[in-house]
Each structure stands twice: as C-alpha cells, then as structure tokens.
Structure 1
Amino acid sequence: VVEGKEGASYLEGGLGPPLGAVGFPDRYLDVTYHLAAGSTLFLFTDGLVERRGATIRDGLDRLKALAAASDEDLEAMCDHVLLSMVESDVSDDVALLALRPVRLASEPLLLRLPAEPYVLASLRQTLRRWLREIEASPQVANDILIACGEACANVIQHAYGAKEGLLEVDLVLLDGTVEVTVRDHGTWRPISGRDGGHGERLMQGLMDSVNVNSGSGGTIVQMKRRLQTGPHGERARAR
C-alpha cells in the first residue's frame, strides 16, 4: 500500500497460504483495511519479487522502495515498477495490478443508469459513500437515501412501462445543502388507488424541499436537504 507522504508498507494481517496451495487449510482470516482516497494498493505475483541469488525479502524491499518513489500517475507507477523489477531472463509469470480509490465528493455526482430494479442496491451504496465523504450525519444521509430511493423506484415503476429507459441521478453540494435531481425521459402512467401520491409525501417529509415537474419529455424530481439543522433540530422549509 502506498499512502502519499506516509510511504509504502505491506499489509500484514490475514496472511495465509495461497488459494489451492494446500488441500484443506485450517482457516483463512478475514481482515478489513480502509484504503483512503488517493492511496494505491498493489497486488502482484511472486514472479515480480523472486530472483535467483536473492532472497524474497530483498525483492519485497526493492518493490516497496520503488513504489514509494513512483510517479503519482497510476499507469506511470506500474510502468516504472515493472521496468525496474522485471529482468530479461525472468522465467516466472509476472502480474501487477494497481488499484486507487478516488473521492466521489470532489465533484458533483452524476449517474446514468438503466431504469431497472437491479440497479437500486449499487446506487444506494454509491450515494451512501458520496454522502459519507461530504460528512453528512447518519440521520441526514439516511433521509436523503430514502427520499432518493423513492424517487428512483418511482421512475423504474412508472416512467417507461415495458420499454427500456434511462434513470438519471445527480447530487451536488452547494453552500451546505445537498441538491438531488432524479430525471427520466418517459411518460408516467397515472397512479390510482389509495397509495397514489404516498411516495411524494414521504419525500416531502424527509427533505427540505421537493419539486416535481412532468412534461412530454419526462419527469424531473428536484429535492434539497441542508446538512446542518437549526439549534433545536428543526429544518428549513425552502420552497
């Protein structure tokens, strides 16, 4: 793991034999490591660090020094490590994989997804991560997730019928307020029965403002929620 000014280090937790190396290992330990945005995780095969006449520790130390001093560009880092570590007479396979998480909240979140039920779980995870990165409180984040999930579910259920369609979800943080836009390009079927309008009332109860605009080109749901509440926990009702 390369963590900027902190340098490079190896993850020591959860060590065990390679998968398939032994028939029935007693156990493998699950270990969780939080990889901060901007850090780099290198995954590699032993062919990258094993050489005749040198110990594997020598190869590991060399790789750590190279990774710590590499360029910030991910592709350039991989090229530098491979060119420096791999010799012409290497007989073993060499594989190197580099992963680097990026901060979602550094920019507005713009998502374009199929309007299908299966996208809701991954969408919720992405929204939760973005809200966590902007330091939304658990209560505010939960309210936004429920309101946005309701708007997205409505698109999936009502906007396109049996046809395929696009679900657009945009989130932006402006002056301490999260602005959510959920958009479709379909034609909503009328909602009848006792449950009609329940979703919009739910969204209005969770957000500071909710505006729904429908037309021939689709429907746009715009919602706002402040990150901070008033001194007694009350929320503004901006219309």
Structure 2
Amino acid sequence: MEVVIEMTLPRDAESAPLVRHTLDASLRGLGVASEIREDIALALGEACANVIQHAESSKEYEVRAHMDGLKCVIDVIDGGGSSDAAVWKRGGRPLPVAESGRGIQLMRAFTEDLDISDRADRNGAIVHFEKSLAAHRD
C-alpha cells in the first residue's frame, strides 16, 4: 500500500500537532512499529517548529509525506525568511532551531538521508528526510 499526504498549514503552533497526528495515523495503519513512528514524529516536530518560529515572510508552510511500506519520505517546505537553508546550517554546523539548537542533531539522529536545501523556484528551504519502515512492524 502507498500513502501520500500533502498539507498546506498555517505557520502557527497549532499546526504541528495536526500534521504529526495525521502522519502517525497513516503509519499506524500501515503497521509501523511505535518506536519508528515516534522517531518520525520527533523529526517532523523539529522541522515544523523551526518553520513556525523562523519563516517570518511566510504565512503558510507545506508538509509532503510519502509512505510505501518500506520507507517514509518527508519534505517540510517553508516560504522563506530566516530558515532558508543557508541559515539552517553554517559551515556544516546547525544554527539554533527548535529545542534550543538541537533540532538538526535530533533530526539527523532519528532519521536517514537528512538534507536541507534552498527552494529552486522561490525563497525558502526544504527539509527532506527519510526513515526505513520495512524491518520494524508492530
């Protein structure tokens, strides 16, 4: 089974729990183990928190998730401001983001293939990460 979720969310604190719960329900429906779902929720929460706190020039942000039973691929896309990729990382070291500067380290520790890049078509950044689902089932 394949599940695709695309959400455009207001840049406010209430939006992060909504997207985390929506994604978790889909992962639970696919039979993904709770430990893996928790890792994904943590990384997603960190990415959303950074957009909410720092993407001043945007009123909205996007979350796109693709789950195919083997892996979960997530993109959190902001509309610009101080969370552009250049600001997310400086010389390979993370800037202060969610959770008092530990956001990128947490995302890196709990996911695979973390990449933060500038949007090609306009201002903003894309936080991309993946998490394997295949070996971990409830």
Higher relative contact order (CA closer than 8 Å, sequence separation 6+): 2
Aligned partner of residue 104 in structure 2, secondary structure: helix
Alpha-carbon distance, 1:175 to partner: 6.2
The structure richer in strand per residue is 2
Q: Which runs of 5+ in 1 are unaligned?
A: 1-104, 231-239
Structure 2 residue identity aligned to 1:177? K
CA contact (8 A) 2:58 2:79 kept: no
Q: How many residues align?
A: 122
Please say if 1:219 is aligned against 2:115: no
Q: Distance in 2 between matches of 1:152 and 1:123?
A: 9
Counterparts of 1:1-239 in structure 2, within 5 Å, are 107-160=3-56, 164-174=58-68, 176-188=70-82, 190=87, 191=95, 195-196=100-101, 198-214=102-118, 217-229=123-135
Query: For the structure 1 residues 192 and 143, does the alpha-carbon distance in structure 2 shift closer, same or farther, using more than 3 Å as the test?
Result: closer
Runs of 4+ that moved beyond 6 A: none
Alpha-carbon distance, 1:214 to partner: 2.5
Structure 2 residue identity aligned to 1:186? G
Aligned residues with identical type, % of pairs: 28
Q: Which runs of 5+ in 2 are unaligned?
A: 88-94
The two structures, once aligned, show a CA RMSD in angstroms of 2.3
The TM-score normalised by the length of structure 1 is 0.46
Q: Highest Rg: 1 or 2?
A: 1
